[in-house]
Chain A
Amino acid sequence: MKLNSFYSRKLHSLLGVIPLGFFLLEHLLTNYEAFIAGKEGFIEQVIWLNGLPLVLFLEIFGIWLPLLYHGVYGLYIALQAKHNVGNYGYVRNHMFLWQRITGVITLIFVVWHFSDTRLQVALGNLRHEELATHMYGTLSSPYYFALYVIGIVATCFHFSNGMWSFLVSWGITVGPRAQRASAYIWMGVFVILSVLFILALTSFTDESFALSILDSAQIEIG
């Protein structure tokens, strides 16, 4: 079946919000638990999530396949543009360029983050309960920490600015006044999401996350 580009582009736009946007927010809530309730709180959240019924089904159809489509088709869209911010240095044209740059960064970041965490669980090298300690190991290197901050900020921008575009592409914000208001709101969302994600990130560098799996197992039982 050859999808006409109108529908394939619309699908790309929709998948960016549902389910990927929702998953991003869910991921933030889980991570933020590490900032509020520390290691135990985070592990509890991870265990709760993985206890959801049909969790593998949810992961495949709610995250992996939409990510694959949005990422691959998005890369195609990004490569089709002929960027011209040099001659047309308008705000929205810069946003157009950055939406594509952050899209590519997000794709690389997500592939790396996925293969470092969920893939390792799938391969049997890591258990869900060990992820907190594993992240402590990764993030205690300032080099990896910086890469995570870049990845997170890029992802939050791509999501927030993407929401702005989504509202235009589906004909919800039509006039210039509505689009301007929407731009302020989503840039606010970008800042808030980035701050919350980075706060969560810093909590993973806390000493308590260095504890071995045995300790966390005891917490779980206790």
Chain B
Amino acid sequence: MSTETQNKTIRFIITRQEDQQSKPYKEEFEIPYRPNMNVIGALMEVQRNPVNAKGEKTSPVCWESNCLEEVCGACSMVINGKPRQACTALVDKLEQPIRIEPMRTFPVIRDVVIDRGRMFDSLKRVKAWIPIDGTYDLGPGPRMAETKRQWAYELSKCMTCGVCLEACPNVSEKTSFMGPAPLSQVRLFNAHPTGEMNMEERLETIMEDDGIEGCGNSQNCVMSCPKGIPLTTSIAALNKDTTKHMFKKWLGN
């Protein structure tokens, strides 16, 4: 370590919680600075030397992380008030003290570890996949137009990180709205030429309670998505599809 950075430290205020039932509390940490450090690196430092800013020995902070390149969505947490991935949160670009909290829209397991299970349940509910299994070879499916593939690819970047649900004012303990991410996946799989065969089934699901009607157009999701997914365009396009489907059901039967 160079002498320049030798004595420099970074201050962290971390909102911690023992388990799902216990009350959250704040703990401060002072961590030796290293150049190009990210928040995960700082949390690893706490893990190596679990001593808080008062010099007391404490339990290491728990977090989840996996890919460390912002494609898995596991390390989402609220950093300085905004939900984002800890791996791409560079310490040099953050205001200090760096405040770290769990994404409280989800059940907190411990410290900043959360349970994103509700998102996976929603993906199952809307059937965010393309059913191709059968008893015989179905052959190649229809081709997708290149222009369509280009925008559909953007939707496929969703990593179920939960940031859009955290930012949404209509996703909270007061409602059961499934949130923007699973809705955008409905648009993705409805856009696929083979997935399109189950389009109406998916539309029917998001026209039930907790579905697309929960959107109140605050548009925080599209501003917050780390992958730049056009979530509000997806929702508006599904508004169009569900409206059409509603009239088709009423007038076509």
Contact = CB atoms under 8 A, between A and B. Distances in A.
Nearest to B246: A10
A141 interface: no
Contact of A80 (B174, B242, B246): B174
A104 to B, nearest CB: 15
Contacts of A174: 233, 236-237, 239-240
A86 B167 CA distance: 11
Interface stretch (A120-128, A163-171, A185-193, A204-212): A163-171
Interface string A82-94: 1110111010110
B213 A176 contact: no
A84 B169 CA distance: 6
Contacts of B239: 168-171, 174
B77 to A, nearest CB: 14
A118 to B, nearest CB: 31
Given A92-B219, A93-B220, A96-B218, A173 B236 contact: yes
A90 B240 contact: no
B211 interface: yes
B117 to A, nearest CB: 20
Interface hub of B223, B230, B232, B239 (most chain A Cβ within 10 A): B239
Contacts of B238: 171
Nearest to B236: A174
Nearest to B223: A90
B233 A176 contact: yes
A86 B215 CA distance: 20
Interface string A66-110: 000000000001011111101110101101100000000000000
A96 B209 contact: no
Contacts of A88: 82, 167, 218, 220, 223-224
A167 to B, nearest CB: 9
Given A81-B170, A93-B220, A4 B236 contact: no
Contacts, number: 99
A6 interface: yes
B175 A80 contact: yes
Given A10-B246, A80-B170, A170-B243, A96 B217 contact: yes
A179 interface: yes
B224 A176 contact: no
Contacts of A83: 169
B169 A171 contact: no
A92 B81 contact: no
Contacts of B212: 6
11 contacts: A4-B207, A5-B210, A6-B207, A9-B213, A82-B170, A84-B220, A93-B169, A170-B240, A171-B237, A173-B236, A179-B232
Given A86-B81, A92-B217, A175-B233, 12 more contacts: A5-B213, A6-B213, A77-B216, A84-B169, A88-B82, A93-B220, A96-B169, A169-B215, A170-B239, A170-B240, A171-B238, A174-B233
Q: Which 9 A-B pairs have the closest CB atoms?
A: A171-B240, A96-B218, A9-B213, A171-B239, A92-B219, A82-B172, A174-B236, A6-B207, A87-B81
